[in-house]
Structure 1
Amino acid sequence: MAWWLESFTLYPALFFSCVFLVSLLLGSFLNVVIHRLPIMMEREWKLECAEALELSGDQATLKTGTLNNGNFNDGYPAQYNLVVPGSACPHCGTAIPAWRNIPLISYLAQKGRCHQCAEPISVRYPLVELATALLCTLVAWQLGPTPQFLAAWLLTLSLVALSAIDLDKMLLPDQITLPLLWLGLLLNIDGLFASLSDAVLGAAVGYLSLWSVFQGFKLLTGKEGMGYGDFKLLALFGAWFGWQAILPIILLASVGGAVVGITLMATGKLAQGKPMPFGPWIALGGFIYLLWGPQLVSWYLSAALGA
């Protein structure tokens, strides 16, 4: 047994503390991913569209050379990725030094305002950091210092980012979902969470189940009830936990989404007919299954069979 694993096993408080602190730091990075990845994707789409229109002879579009030089007219620097440029105030553009960018502490110390221009900083930043730390610590408490925890830690971080992006942009980036789907299959070669055959079947069932609902709804109403990212997210959970996880996750996601949707409509915060992202509820269902999957299945079967 590795020395660090033995130490964490002997001293659980040390394990939970380390997970909380590291996850708090990673939550700060997730804020960067949540904000910048959609912008990076939009730039990539613009470039692809410009290339396609140029190839078709359409001159009424931006030249690909202009876009390649970073002239996207979106208000962001030409070089823009998850690392460059450094963190800066969205109001005045003042660079934020590392010592003013400490998760939670800096926000509280500055009373939620920029140190330079005193404009308010979105409360979303500390909320994402705190939620990331708490959720990851919950996973640590449930799974302990095990190989399963390391995989589940990465999954939890990714679910936080996916949920926040979907709430903001109604988008579930393939750059996150597809690598995780393949990772789930690879992890289950040795049966980390499920057998490989159950994982492969789970990925297929996860995708096709929501795809079938999507096609049926579109056929009946002529409208698209959800996005393809939702199919891939459920397929991801099938690849991680096997086909047995699909129904419980769908049920949890549907109940959660319905309760929140009805509440928002009743309070006038969501207009009737306005779309609401489903990805966060699939993510919530998958996270609950990660922690209490076997117990949920056992409870459901007992209730269904009347045992």
Structure 2
Amino acid sequence: MHGSLTQILELLSQPGNGALSLMAGVLGLLIGSFLNVVIYRLPRMMQRATDNFIAQESGQDLPHPQRYNLLLPRSCCPRCEQAVQPQHNIPVLGYLLLRGRCGQCRQPISLTYPLVETFSALLSALLVWRFGAGMEGVAALLFAYFLLSMSIIDAQTQLLPDDLSLPLMWLGLLVNLGHTFAPLQDAVIGAAAGYGMLWLIFWAFKLATGKDGLGYGDFKLLAALGAWLGWQALPFILLMASALGAVVGIALVVFRKQALDQPIPFGPYLAIAGMLALLHGKDWLTGIFYAY
């Protein structure tokens, strides 16, 4: 019995398994549907909690007495507030069946929903192919789901919630107790260095210009990436994220005539760079610095 269990665990841990990757992709669709709930509701939960706290402190009636979390109330159209029918909750397919419109009021449904589900599926299949479905693969999936949620929230609200960034950081340290992606010592240094690097950049920019160039959520996200991948990955992540942000920023100014001083979220670019660092690993990162 013990031998059979060991063989199963070894099989799950092996990368490059097409059947497991396909199963992970299907599961990723379902998880992506839940991530859409997190992306939509978490910022609103935070705003409602803040509104209630202010009202309570001033002795006023709570503006949001109803229960509102990731489970309740049921999913509904944000415009007509009609509950979404079960068949329309099927990831991606439900959006296609409705032709991108609410089944009741016929108002457009954001394309973000099927895109998040699709990206979740693709990332799930890719990571299980790369790392297997053992502990390393499961950890990589959690890493990806956190980053995907935080990226969309930041893109939509320019907010990186502590409710996601701090658990991601602590989870990274726990995962690396077994040296999964980095030695624990490197992970601890990475968490501290990740926060400190952007803190220094923030204050250098503020002293030079009098403006805030970054948000504190960016500090915590880079700290979380350092906790997962170790301090060695931080230069690559910061350089890649900065390059991506610069390219997108220039494109927005040129093609959308966006003002030069209009802020853009930095979290999505940190997340993309973090995923690239995870996929390619420490050996690849080290090779960049010693290639020449």
- Is 1:19 the counterpart of 2:7 in the alignment? no
Q: 34, 38, 47: which one pairs with 1:42?
A: 47
Distance 1:11 1:251 in 2: 30
1:57 alignment partner in structure 2: none
Q: Which deviates further from its counterpart, 216-225 or 113-122?
A: 113-122
The C-alpha deviation readout for 1:87-138, integer Å capped at 9, x for no partner, is: 1122222211222210011111221122222222111110111011112212
Once the two structures are superposed, the pairs formed by residues 208-247 of structure 1 within 5 Å of their partners are 208-247=196-235
Pair 1:86-2:91 in alignment: no
Q: What residue is the counterpart of 1:291 in the other structure?
A: 279
Q: Which is further off, 140-149 or 231-240?
A: 140-149
Higher relative contact order (CA 8 A, sep 6+): 2
Alignment of 1:42-191 (within 5 A): 42-52=47-57, 54=58, 63=59, 66-67=61-62, 71-72=63-64, 78-191=66-179
> Could you report, residue by residue, the CA deviation over 1:175-210 in whole angstroms, capped at 9, with x for unpaired residues?
011011111111111211111111111101000000
Tell me the alpha carbon deviations over residues 6-29 of structure 1, each in whole angstroms, 9 at most, x when there is no partner: 368599222011110111011011
- Partner of 1:33 in structure 2? 38
Q: Distance in 1 between the 2:257 and 2:8 partners?
A: 52
CA distance 1:4–1:98, change in 2 (3 Å): farther
Q: Quick one: structure 1 residues 210 and 26, their matched pair in 2 at CA, closer, same or farther if it must change by over 3 Å?
A: same
Task: Determine if contact 2:173/2:228 at 8 Å carries over to the other structure.
Answer: yes
CA distance in 2, matches of 1:23, 1:31: 12
Which deviates more, 90-99 or 212-221? 90-99
- C-alpha distance in structure 2 between counterparts of 1:210 and 1:199, whole Å: 17
Matching residue's letter, 1:299? G
Count of residue pairs brought into register by the alignment: 287
CA distance 1:5–1:26, shift in 2 (3 Å): farther
Percent identity over paired residues: 46
3-state SS, counterpart of residue 300 of structure 1: helix
Taking the aligned partners of 1:44 and 1:93, their CA distance within structure 2 comes to 21
Specify the SS of the correspondent of 2:90.
coil
Segment of structure 1 superposing worse, 234-243 or 291-300:
291-300
Name the amino acid aligned to 1:149. G
Contact 1:188 1:199 in 2 (8 A): yes
Q: Closer, same or farther in 2 for the Cα pair 1:191/1:4, shift >3 Å?
A: closer
2:264 to 276, 287, 300: 276
- Map of 1:301 onto structure 2: 289
- The aligned amino acid for 2:22 is S
Give the AA of the match of 1:190.
G
Tell me, yes or no, if structure 1 residue 261 matches structure 2 residue 266: no
Q: Which moved more, 1:93-102 or 1:148-157?
A: 93-102
Match of 1:3, SS? helix
Per the TM alignment, residue 144 of structure 1 is displaced from its structure 2 partner at its CA by: 1.9
Q: Which moved more, 1:160-169 or 1:131-140?
A: 131-140
Q: Which amino acid aligns with 1:39?
A: R
Question: Aligned partners of 1:228 and 1:114: how far apart in 2?
Answer: 37
Structure 1, unaligned runs of 5 or more: 55-62
TM-score normalised by structure 2 residue count = 0.92
Q: List structure 1 runs of 4+ shifted beyond 6 angstroms.
A: none
TM-score w.r.t. length of structure 1: 0.88
Whether the 8 Å CA contact 1:8–1:14 is kept in 2: the answer is: no
- Counterparts of 1:164 and 1:102 in 2: how far apart (Å)? 20
> What is the aligned partner in structure 2 of residue 58 from structure 1?
none
Aligned-pair RMSD on alpha carbons? Answer: 1.9
- Residues 1:3 and 2:8 are matched in the alignment: yes
SS in 1 for 2:72: coil
Q: 1:2 to 1:171 in 2, by over 3 A?
A: farther
Higher mean displacement: 17-26 or 269-278: 269-278
